[in-house]
Structure 1
Amino acid sequence: MIGKLIGKGRTGEIYDWEEGKVIKLFFHSVKESFVEQEVVLGKWLQSMGLMVPQVYGSVEMDGRSGIVYEKISGVSMTEKLLDPNGNVTESAKELAKLHQNIHRVDARNLPAFTAKLQAIIKRTRLLDYRSKEQILSYLAKLPDANVLCHGDFHTDNVLVEQEKKVVIDWETACKGNPLSDVARTVMIYKYAILPTEMPVAAREKIEELRTVLCEEYIKEYSRLTGTKEEEMKMWLLPLMAARLEEELSKEEKQLLLKEIEYHLENISDENLKTI
C-alpha cells in the first residue's frame, strides 16, 4: 500500500512503501529505458561497496513505472548543518571524504560527462554561437578520465542515519574527471540562489555557512587527493554554461551569465590554467 509523499525530484516522486522501504514513481514522461538504467545503476553502485540505498526492484502502479528502494530514516547533511550543534568544518571534511571515496571507482562503462556537457552547451539559447564555440573548444582541452562522478553531489544528497552516511540521487552519474565533479559541487555552493519559499531563518543560516563549507570542502579534498584548487576551477566555465539549461531562477541565470562572460574574457592558451 502506497504511503505519504515524502519527496519530489526531476523525474519522479518518492512515497512511503512497505516497512523499511520507499517507492520512487516516475512521471509518465520518463521512458521505461531510463527506469531500467536506474535499476541497473543502483545495483552496480551497491556492488562497488558504496553507501547507497539498496535497490529491491522495479514495479508498475497506476500506469507509472517505479523502483522500490531501501528507506533511509536519517536527515540530510544540510539539516544536520542547520542544527545548533552542527559543525560546518567537520561536515565539509566528511563531504570531501565521501566524494573522494566515490572517485575511487572505475566507471568506464557509464556515459561520459564531457559528452553530456557538450550536448547541453550546444542546445542552450542563452549563449550566442561564438560563445558556445569558445566554451566547447576550451572544454575539449580539459583532461578527461573514467572515474565515477555523481554529477550533483552536495549536502542535500547525503542522508545521515546515526553514524551511517548514504549518498542518494544518482540519476546524473557518469564517468569523467573527478575534478569536474568537485567543480560542480563548488559551483552550486558559490552561485546557487536559494528558493524564496525556504524559511527565512534557514536561508540566513545557509548563506552564513556555505562559503566556509565550500572553502573547507575544497581544502580537505585537495589534501586527501593531492590535487590543486586551480585544477578544479578549470572546469567551472563549461559547467556554468551547461547549468543554464537547468530549471533555475532568472536571478541565478543572470549571475551565471555574468560569470561566464568574465571567464570568456580571460580564455587564452597562456592562461588556460589560471581562469
Structure 2
Amino acid sequence: MKALVLAAGYATRLYPLTENTPKPLLRIAGRPIINYIIDNLKSIKLLDEIFVVTNDKFYGHFKSWAKDLEQNSDFKKNGLVITVINDGTKTESSRIGAIGDIEFVIKNQKLKNDLLILGGDNLFTWGLEDFINYSIGHKPQVTIGLFDIKNSAQAAKYGVVAIDNKAEVVDFQEKPNIPNSTLVAMCLYYLPAEKLMLIRQYLTQMKSLDKKDASGNYIKWLYPKESVFAHVFRGHWYDIGDIDSYKDADSLFTRFLRIGAKKK
C-alpha cells in the first residue's frame, strides 16, 4: 500500500503566513501539521511508502523537511520511505488541482497499488487503523472518510455527504446552501488498485480547474456510477482555511495535547 499526501496548494487565504511557507509545514502546537499526519501513517503496517506531492515553489521546503524527518530514529525503525514529488506548477493560477495531482502521481510513479490519500492540512485526533481495515473490507470499492460536524451552517462550507444504513454514499453536495446532512468529506480516501484508472476517466470528462481542484467533485461524479462506502470518524477534526481558523486550531490542538499528556 502507498499513501499520498496532497500538498501542492498555495493557500492564498492564509497570506502572509503561507507566502513563503506551505500550509502543511505551518506549526500547530510546535510541530508542522504534516508531522501529525505522518505519525498516523507510521502505524499502518501495510504501508511501505509515502508520497508528498507539492508544487515547484515549495518543493525545496518539503525536500528539506523530509530529509530532517528521515534522520529521526523513530521514523527510521518503521522502514517507511518518503518521496517528495514536484508537480511542476509555480503559481496559484497554474495549479492542476487536487485531482490533477492525484493523477499526476499515479502516472509519474506508475502506481499499481492500493492508495490512501490525505489532504496535507488534515489535522485530526484519531488513528487510521480502523479506516484502513474498514476500507480493505469493502474492496474493491472506494472508501471515503467523513466527519460529523453536527452543525448545518458549518456543514455548508464543505462537501456534504448522505449515506444509507450500509454506509454507502447516496448523495454528495459541494458547499450546499441547505445541507441534507451534517456529515462532511474531509479529504481522506482509500482507492483500491483496481479503481486508480477512474481518476484518469474523470479528468478526461472534467476539464475546468474547479472540477479538478476540490477532491470531493470526484466522489460526486463516482457514487452514481458505482458503490462508494464511507467511514464516519469521531473525535476532533480541525479545518484550517484562513488565519483565524489556523490560530483557533493551534490553540485547541495545543490544549487537546496538553490534556492527553496529563492523562498518561
TM-score, structure 2 as length reference: 0.29
- Higher strand proportion (structure 1 or 2): 2
Q: Which has the larger radius of gyration?
A: 1
- Higher helix proportion (structure 1 or 2): 1
Q: Tell me: higher relative CO, structure 1 or 2? Use CA pairs within 8 A at least 6 residues apart.
A: 2
